[in-house]
Amino acid sequence: MQNYTTPIVTTLQQDPNQAYTLQQLYRVLKVTGKSDRAKVKKALLDLLHEGTIKKVSKGGYLHAGAPIYITGRVDYVRAEYAYIVAPDQPKDVLVRQKDLLSALDKDLVKVCLFPSRRGKRPEGVVVEIIERNTASVIGRITVSGNQPQAIVQQKRTAYTVLLEQENSSMLQENDKVVIAFTSFPNAHNQLTGKVVQHLGEAGLHEVEMHAIMAEFGLKDTFPESVLEHTKNIPTVITEAEISKRRDLRHIPTFTIDPVDAKDFDDALSYQPLANGAHQVGIHIADVSYYVLPDSPLDREAYARNTSVYLVDRCIPMLPELLSNELCSLRPNETKLTFSAIFELDAQGKIYDKWLGETIIYSNKRFTYEEAQAAIDAQTRDCYQALTVLNNLAKQLRAKRLQKGAINFETRELVFELDANGKPLDMVPKVRTDAHKLIEEFMLLANKEVATYVAKLKQKQEKLGPTFIYRTHDHPDPDKLDEFFLFVIQLGYKINTAPIYKAMHDLERAIQGKQEENIIQSLAIRSMAKALYTTKPNPHFALAFAHYTHFTSPIRRYSDVLVHRLLKKYLKGERIYDVAFYEKKCQYAVEREYLAANAERASIKYKQVEFIQNLKDEIFEGIISGLTEWNIYIEILSNGCEGMVRLSDLTDDSYTFKENNFQVIGKHTKKCYRLGDIVKVKVKNCDLDKRHINFWLC
C-alpha cells in the first residue's frame, strides 16, 4: 500500500517558500488514479493535523518550517510504531509505522522531525534509510507451497521472509533457524533470506536458548586460534613471579559466591592487628597476568567484553581454562591476585591502604547460604572473621547512605528447571547480609582504586593519566519530577530536597507494601544510566566522587583494562590516550546493554513458558505500565509481566491520560492507575514474541 506522507514532506522541504496546490502535488508525485488521489488527501490531512505542513491562500501547501533532521537507529517497539534512538537526542523520536519507509529494527535512518509540541514526545518521519542492519535474525519455518518461508519476530512486530531453496529439504514446519537477509523490503514489501544455521524444533529448551544466543550474536564456543593460544599459557606459578609479589598465603582467606558459581573473581582475607584495628584484604583474580594485550585471547575477550548469564548457563568472556581454572580463586590452590588491603577501625574508618600484585591461598569456598549460616549460628568455619567483616560492611554501608547513596534495587528471579529445562517454579532471589558483605567490600575496592588514580594528576594537569571510570549522572529533572508526581498520586509524601533523603524516606515507607517492587523499578528508570568513561566524574547513586570496576576481570573486560593501567601507574608510568580508551569505554557500554537484553530475553521466555500452563488461575497483579494501547501488569507472586489490551476492555472506551498515569473510561469514568492492584487471568501466550496477554477479572 503506497504511503504518500514521506514523498509530500520531501517535496515541500525542497523549497520551503514554494507552495504546492493539490493538483501540483498530484503531478509531482505522478498520481493519476482515484484511490491514490484519496490517499494523498488523507496524507495531507494527517500532516496538517501534526503541524508538519500548513495551508496558505489559494489552496497551497507549505512546509511548516525549516526541516530538522536527525540520524539514529530504529528500535522497533511494536507493529504500530518504532522509536529512533539518536545519541545526540535527549529523547527517542517516535515514528508511526506508516512513516518508517520500510525500515527494520536497528536500521540506521535519517528522520525529519515534526514541529515540536510542548510536553509531547518528539515525532518524525523517516526520509532515508542510510544503512541496513545486516545482522542475522531468528525465524520460525512455515512451509507455504513450494517455497519455504519463515516468520521473524522482532520486539512486538512480525514479518515474513521468503527463503532461498538451498538446503530447504531439511527444514520442517515450526523449526527455528538463523537467517541472513539477501534482500530488503521492495515495492511489495518483501524480504528474502537464506538459512545460515538450523537450530531445531521450536519449544525445546536447548533450541530456544541457542535461538536467544544467536539473536544477540553470542557464542558459547571459542575460535580454534584462541584455544590453541591458551595451550601456551603457563599453568605453573614460578618462584621468580612469586618474588615480585606480596605473599599473603599465610593469611586466612576465603571466597563467598553463588552455589553454582565456578568463576571466583574475588576473595576476602581478615586478620586482627595488634593495635586493635582490622586488616581486610580484597583479592581479585589477576587476569591481566594471563591475558596479554593484542593476543588472540585478548582480542576475543575484548570482542565479547562481558560474560552473559542466561537463566541456565553462563556464556563466558574467557575460555574455561582461565575462567574456571587458572584465574578462578578456587579453594586450596595458590593463585595470582591484584589486591586492595585496608586497615580499618570498628566504625569502618580507613587508616591505611595498599594496592598491588599479590599471591594468595584460599582456605575455604563459601556459598552465600553457608556464609550466612555461619554468621547467624556463630559457629562453623571462619565465623569470627565473617562476623567482623559483616559488622564492618554494615558500618561502610551506613556511611555511604549518610553521604547520599541511593539504595533502590530491582527484584531478581531464580528459576527452578527440570531435567529438560522446563520451568517448575520461580522465586525472588533473597539478599542476605552475606550478599551485602561482599557487595560492600567490592564497592570499597572499586572506589579506592578510582580515587587513587584520579588523584595522580599533577598540579598543571586538568586531567590526570587516562583511566576507565564508572560514572553515574544526576537524574534528569523532568524524569524525576514525573516519578515523584506518580508516587504522590499513590498517597506518599515527598520532600524532594535533597534527592537522596527523599529516596531514603520513600524506601522506608514502601518496605513490605504491594507496590514496593514497581516503585523501586520506576525509581531506577528515573535515574541516569551508569556508564564507562575516561572522565573522572562522580557516581551519583553510590555517592562516590570517583568509582571504577576493578573487582570482576574474569567476566568484564573493563576490569582487565583497569588492572593493566593501575599496574603501570603503581610503577610510576603514565599513559595519556583518552581517545583510545574512550572508544573502548563506548564499546563496553554497548556490549553491557546487549548482555542485559539477552539475559532479559531468556528470563522473559521462561516466564512465558511457565505461565502458559496456568491459564485457569486468577492472579493478583500490579499495574506496572500504561500506554495508549495497553495496560501492563506484573503478577505479585512471581514477577511475570504481561498486558491487557485496551481494545479487550469491552465495558467502555478507554483513553490514556499520560500526565495522570491512568486510563479512564469515556462514559463510566472507570479508572485504572499505575500502581493499582488488579486481578487477571491468562488470555494467551506467545513464546516467539516472549509476551503474555491477560484478561482483567
- pLDDT tens digits along 646-684: 999 999 999 998 878 889 999 999 999 988 999 999 999
Mean pLDDT of 398-421: 89
- Please name which of 530, 324, 523 lies closest in space to residue 446, comparing C-alpha atoms: 530
Per DSSP bridges, beta strands 364-367 and 147-154 are unpaired
Residue 557 contacts residue 586 (beta carbons within 8 Å): no
Q: What is the pLDDT of residue 544?
A: 97
- Give the mean model confidence (pLDDT) for residues 312-330: 96
pLDDT band at residue 33, thresholds of 50, 70 and 90?
confident
Q: Half-sphere exposure (CA, 13 Å, Cβ side) for 81?
A: 13
pLDDT tens by residue, 368-387: 999 999 999 998 889 999 99
Mean pLDDT of 289-305: 97
Spatial CB neighbours of 590, under 8 Å, sequence gap ≥ 6 = none
Whole-model pTM?
Answer: 0.85
Kindly report the average pLDDT of the chain as a whole number: 90
Confidence check: pLDDT of 545 > 90: yes
Question: Residue 197: pLDDT above 60?
Answer: yes
3-class secondary structure, 35: helix
The letter for the amino acid at 374 is A
Which region among 252-266, 504-518, 672-686 has the lowest average model confidence (pLDDT)?
504-518
Higher pLDDT, 380 or 245: 245
Q: What does the pLDDT look like over 602-618, one tens digit per residue?
A: 999 999 999 998 988 99
CA distance 234 to 326: 9
How confident is the model at residue 689, as a pLDDT? 85
Count CA atoms within 13 Å of residue 555 on its CB side.
Answer: 17
Q: What is the pLDDT of residues 475-500, one digit of tens each?
A: 988 888 888 888 888 888 888 678 88
CA angle 260, 262, 267 (to 5 degrees): 105
| 347: its cell numbers | 566504625
Tell me: pLDDT of 214 over 90. yes
Q: How many CB atoms lie within 10 A of CB 476?
A: 14
What pLDDT does 363 receive? 95
Per-residue confidence (pLDDT) for residue 350, from 0 to 100: 96
User: What mean pLDDT comes out for the span 415-419?
Assistant: 92
Share of the chain above pLDDT 70, in %: 96
Q: What tens digit of pLDDT does each residue of 126-183 get?
A: 999 999 988 889 999 987 667 789 999 876 678 889 888 766 667 888 999 999 999 8
Q: Which pLDDT band holds residue 439 (cuts at 50, 70, 90)?
A: very high
For residue 573, what are the CA distances in angstroms to 447, 465, 567? 21, 9, 9
Q: The C-alpha cell of 275 is what?
A: 593495635
Kindly tell me if the per-residue pLDDT of 561 is higher than 90.
Answer: yes
Q: How confident is the model at residue 113 (pLDDT cuts 50, 70, 90)?
A: confident
Could you write out the DSSP letters of every residue in 422-474?
Answer: -EEEEEEPPP-HHHHHHHHHHHHHHHHHHHHHHTT--TT-SS-S---EEEBPP
